[in-house]
Amino acid sequence: MLEDRIRTSVDQAVQALVSDLLSIHTDATARQVDEAAERVREMERGRAELEQKLAEADEAREAAIDEAVRAAVEGEAARHAARVEDQIRALHEQHAAAIAAIQGEAARHTAQAGEQMRTLHDEHTAALAAVEARAIAETKASIDAARVGEREAEMAGFTRLVESVRGLDGATSLSEVLDALALAAAREAARAAVVVVKGDHVVGWRLSGFGPRDAQPKSVDLPLVEAGVIGAAASSSRPATTQSGADGPGFEHLPEDRMGLAMPVLVGGRVVAVVYADGVSGGEQDHIVPNPWPEAIEVLARHAGRCLEALTAQRVAAPARSSAQSGVVTPAPSGAVG
C-alpha cells in the first residue's frame, strides 16, 4: 500500500512537475511563437518594404530607361532634323544656283532674241519700205498705163463713133442709113439689132451677135405688145431700158443681170425704126467698166434720125423743084422705109 501511496505520490509529484514543466514549456513555446510571429511580421514588413523599394527601383529604372530613350530619340531627331536642314539648305543653294544660271541664260537668250528682233525689224522695215516703194512705183505705172489705155480706149471709141457718124452722113438712101446704123451699133455693143416699125409690128432689118438669127433678120416679126423694151421705145417715142421694168427684146432671152437698151429713130416726130443693144456676148466689150455703149447707141440713133429726116427732105424737095420748074405740084412722100 505504501508503495501504492508512494507510487501515487510520485505520480502526483511527477504529474505536478510535468504540469509545471508543460506550463513552463508552453509559456516558453508561446513566447517563442510570439517572437517567431513577430519576426515573421517583421520579415513581412521588410519584404513589403523591399518589394516597395524594388517597385520604386523598377519605376525609377523604367523612368530612367524612358528618359534615356526619349533623350536618345530627341537626340536622333535633332540629328536627323539637322541633317534634313543641311540637305534642305544644300538643295536650296543648288536651286538658287540653278535659278541664277537659268536667269542668266534667259537674260542672254533675251538679249540675243532682242538683237535678232531688232535685226529682223530693221530688215522687215527695209523690206516693207522696198516693197512699198516697188508697189507705189508699180501702182503708178499701172495707173499711168491704165490712164493711157483708158485714153486710148476713149480715143478709139471717139474715132469709131466719128467714123460711124461719117458712115451715116455718107448714106444716100433710107436703106443705107439703116444699114450704116446697124453696122455702127454692132461695133459698139455685144448684141445689136435694128428693126423697122410697120404699123403695130416691128420687123427685123439687121441683127448682130444673136447667132444663127443674124442671117435671117426678117424672121423677127413681132407685135409691139410682144416686143418688150423695143415695143416700149416704139410706143413711147422715147428711150427705154429693161431697168425700168420692160422685158428683153422679145425675140431673144436677156439675163436678169444685164441691161437692154432700145432707142427710137425719129423722123418728123414719128418712130420709123428702133435700135436695140445689150452686152451679153461675154467678149471684151462686156468687161469694160464703165462701158460707154449706151451713150454711143443713143448718139447713133439720134443722128440716124437726123440723116433720115435730111434724106426725106431731099426726096420731098426734088419732086417739088421739078414740079416748080414744070409747073406741076407733086404730093410729098409719107416717109415710110421700104
DSSP string for residues in 127-183: HHHHHHHHHHHHHHHHHHHHHHHHHHHHHHHHHHHHHHHHHHHH--SHHHHHHHHHH
pLDDT at 182: 95
User: Cis omega before residue 319 (within 30°)?
Assistant: no
User: In the chain, what are the domain boundaries?
Assistant: 108-170, 174-325
Reduced to 3 states, what is the DSSP secondary structure of residue 15? helix
pLDDT at 289: 44
Judge whether 329 and 316 are in contact, CB under 8 Å: no
The domain made up of 174-325 has a fold known as Beta-Lactamase (3.30.450)
User: Within 10 Å of residue 169's Cβ, how many Cβ atoms?
Assistant: 13
Single out the residue of 177, 166, 227, 156 nearest to residue 197, CA to CA: 227
Paired residues of 196 in beta bridges: 203, 273
Q: What is the widest separation between alpha-carbon atoms in the chain?
A: 251
pLDDT at 218: 93
Judge whether 179 and 206 are in contact, CB under 8 Å: yes
Tens digit of pLDDT at every position of the chain (338 positions): 677 777 787 777 777 777 777 777 778 778 888 888 888 888 888 888 878 888 887 788 788 878 877 887 788 878 877 887 888 788 778 878 877 887 888 788 778 877 887 887 788 788 768 867 776 677 466 645 545 455 555 556 668 888 978 989 988 899 999 999 999 999 999 999 999 999 999 999 999 999 999 999 999 999 999 999 999 999 999 999 999 888 999 999 999 889 999 999 999 999 999 999 998 875 544 444 456 899 999 999 999 999 999 998 888 776 656 655 555 444 444 444 54
Give the sign of the dihedral formed by CA 182, CA 186, CA 189, CA 191. positive
- Judging by DSSP bridges, how do beta strands 261-267 and 201-208 pair with one another? unpaired
pLDDT at 214: 93
Q: Tell me how far apart the alpha carbons of residues 268 and 287 are, in angstroms, rounded to a whole number.
A: 37
Residues recorded for the chain: 338
Reduced to 3 states, what is the DSSP secondary structure of residue 283? coil
DSSP per-residue codes, 69-132: HHHHHHHHHHHHHHHHHHHHHHHHHHHHHHHHHHHHHHHHHHHHHHHHHHHHHHHHHHHHHHHH
pLDDT at 210: 92
pLDDT at 106: 72
